[in-house]
Amino acid sequence: MTPRAKRQPGMPEPERIKWIEARGRSFDFTLTPGIPLLESVRRGFTAEGFVSGALELGPTVLEPFAYVIPSLPHSPEFVAYYSETFRPAGPTTLIDGAMTFGTRDGAPFFHCHALWREADGMLMGGHILPTPETVVAEPTPVSAFGLDGAIFDGSPCRETNFKLFEPFAATATAVTTDRRCFAIRMRPNIDLLTGLEDFCRAHGIRRARIRGGVGSTIEARFDDRPPTQNFATEVYIRDGRFVRDASGELCARISAALVDYTGATAEGTLTRGDNPVLMTFELVLVEE
């Protein structure tokens, strides 16, 4: 157990990092305006022959738009929960964000966290809902990474009592890929950075980059700004890399942004060894 660990309502799974090795490829596409964000993302992945992967969002205008933020639990069945659904009036412009794309209940689905400015200028962030209430308003280029041989699928998690994305093996296709990669889900109370460093060492990875990166931490500790104090967060990775430090040791460098259950946002470079996962963290680790 790490510092600030939270006891989940269910029994811990023995495998603290679930992973599937796969192949993958980067590609770019443009979000189509006038249709839900989920359908626009599905079309982009399908056009390249993929059904799952990760996506990074830059400035993106959405209208209408629906989201939630973390909240305190409403029952002992959960450590934390979601707020009511917010639907801001007018166009909302994302600053940036990260997304895991896959399936749930046999249909396309995504898990996406971001920061944005609403039409009244308010800075906000949270969990974007993959529903018809979230629609792309303008053509927008995005960068993605597709998985071949693995898929993220929404599955019941006995430890947290949520249905969460988990990586599963999938039949490889004839789609062209050029990178060894790992679809990963990190479970509660494992440190985000050192857990991934240990994973890289165990799999002989000397350099790697994170694609996507969506989840939650118990509070957050940064190298370059004050810590957050509220334990329930929605976090996404802006840039994550694994490189060798001056002594030759593998070192994670991850910049991230988040919103907590009060609606306060924060962003900065995460501190190694002091950012335990709250509910889940899923990402694609790409060997370089």
User: What's the whole-model pTM score?
Assistant: 0.97
Residue 127 and residue 110: Cα distance in Å, rounded? 10
Provide the pLDDT for residue 168: 98
Domains in the chain, CATH or no CATH each: 23-146 (3.30.1330.80), 184-287 (3.30.1330.80)
Tell me the pLDDT tens digit for each residue of 113-134: 999 999 999 999 999 999 999 9
Q: Which residues contact 209 (CB under 8 A, 6 or more apart)?
A: 240, 241, 242, 285, 286, 288
Tell me the pLDDT tens digit for each residue of 240-274: 999 888 888 899 999 999 999 999 999 999 999 99
Provide the pLDDT for residue 194: 97
CB 260 within 8 A of CB 80: no
Does the pLDDT at position 46 exceed 80? yes
Residue 100 and residue 127: Cα distance in Å, rounded? 12
Mean confidence (pLDDT) of the chain: 96
Average pLDDT over residues 42-71: 98
CB 101 within 8 A of CB 183: no
Residue 5 and residue 3: Cα distance in Å, rounded? 5
CB 230 within 8 A of CB 279: no
Provide the pLDDT for residue 3: 65
